[in-house]
Amino acid sequence: MKILVTGCQGQVGSALAALLPQALPAYEIIAVDRTQLDLSDFGRIRELMQALKPALVINAAAYTAVDQAETEVAQAMRINGDAPGVLAEQAKQIGAALIHFSTDYVYDGSKQGAWVETDATVPLSVYGRSKLAGEQAIAASGVPHLILRTSWVYGLTGKNFLLTMLRLAQTRDTLGIVADQIGAPTWSHTLAEATLAVIRRAGAPHQMAGLSGIYHCCAAGHTSWFGFAQAIFAHPAITRRPVLNAITTADYPTPAVRPKNSVMDIRKFEAAFGPLPSWDSALDACLRDVGTV
Ligand SMILES: NC(=O)c1ccc[n+]([C@@H]2O[C@H](COP(=O)([O-])OP(=O)(O)OC[C@H]3O[C@@H](n4cnc5c(N)ncnc54)[C@H](OP(=O)(O)O)[C@@H]3O)[C@@H](O)[C@H]2O)c1
């Protein structure tokens, strides 16, 4: 049986491509990057799905340039909103299941306390709207699917807050970090492990129908971007330690509006598939791999 992983050069896609082949030896893992499967080319999606006929598709590809999406609306909507629907329609046709990643940015951040999966979605940005449209297209297709809403993804490759902090610390003695947005920093490897837990729990892709739906899937606990930065620079592997100043969202304006509260309740995922690590223990594990910086 085949598992098709899209976006295999991305943070989550590369973590999946590294973990799944050795963890699931009974499956053939076919990990494709943008050059092999460009999600904006719907004809190519159909062609590849019909040629490979995977039992499971894991869609880790997405348009993730949150600020750029404010001006590249059509492209963000095509890749995040429409393409997942084409993948889902194809998966349904060939009897496959679909695991898809979505985002905390479907919420408006106004809630006091953690968001639950049934809360109203009110995205504040084009990116959030495009991801929500993708979720809706998948659900409407009727394919067996899991939508894993995650947040604040980081790892040792790609573009993310952790690597930005380490890069800035090479040249700056002081950093201003936003302290009034809270969420759960989530290691890309945690998401690969969580996806593996889903596949193992389902037993086989065609048995995923009973598990279909939306799940919050991010690290346990929460912090602010400022707290995340403090934890990064407190780690023994990191030797350059700039002075960190807490600033507000208003001090650091961006084209896309971010939710103030991105904290998601993960009890539904944990009840179905097992525990997720705390954000700080995952950060510690991630940085243990980094060597001394
Ligand atoms: N990053 C976060 O903080 C975050 C937070 C919440 C949810 N998520 C969701 O988590 C999932 C994985 O995100 P990530 O952090 O791994 O993102 P990422 O590192 O930006 O990876 C996304 C991958 O998608 C690829 N891609 C972009 N446009 C494509 C297209 N038209 N066709 C095929 N591939 C395309 C990119 O290719 P190139 O390398 O060629 O650009 C990249 O390899 C996404 O669904 C994202 O929306 C991410």
Q: Is the distance from the beta carbon of residue 153 to the nearest atom of ligand 1 less than 6 Å? A: yes
Question: What average pLDDT does range 104-128 have in this prediction?
Answer: 97
- Taking alpha carbons only, the member of 40, 25, 116 closest to residue 74 is 40
What is the residue type of 51? A
Catalytic residue among 63, 105, 127, 154: 127
Task: Give the pLDDT confidence score for residue 291 in this predicted structure.
Answer: 64
Please provide residue 2's backbone torsions phi and psi, each rounded to the nearest 5 degrees.
-110, 145
The rounded Å distance from CA 9 to ligand 1 centre is 8
Of all residues in the chain, the percent with pLDDT exceeding 70 is 99
Whole-angstrom Cα distance, residue 204 to residue 201? 8
**Rounded to 5 degrees, what angle do the CA atoms 13, 18, 24 make?**
105
> Which sign does the torsion angle of CA 251, 255, 259, 264 carry?
negative
CA of 115: how far to CAs of 112, 146, 181, 247, in Å?
9, 18, 14, 24
Strand pairing of 153-154 and 186-187?
A: parallel
- The answer on pLDDT for 127 being more than 80 is yes
Q: Is the distance from the beta carbon of residue 151 to the nearest atom of ligand 1 less than 6 Å? A: yes
pTM of the model: 0.96
- The answer on pLDDT for 206 being more than 90 is no
The rounded Å distance from CA 100 to ligand 1 centre is 11
Q: Give the torsion through C-alpha atoms of 106, 111, 113, 118, to 10 deg.
A: -50
What would the two tokens of residue 156 be? 């040792």
What mean pLDDT, rounded, does the chain reach? 96
Radius of gyration of the chain, Cα coordinates, nearest whole angstrom:
19
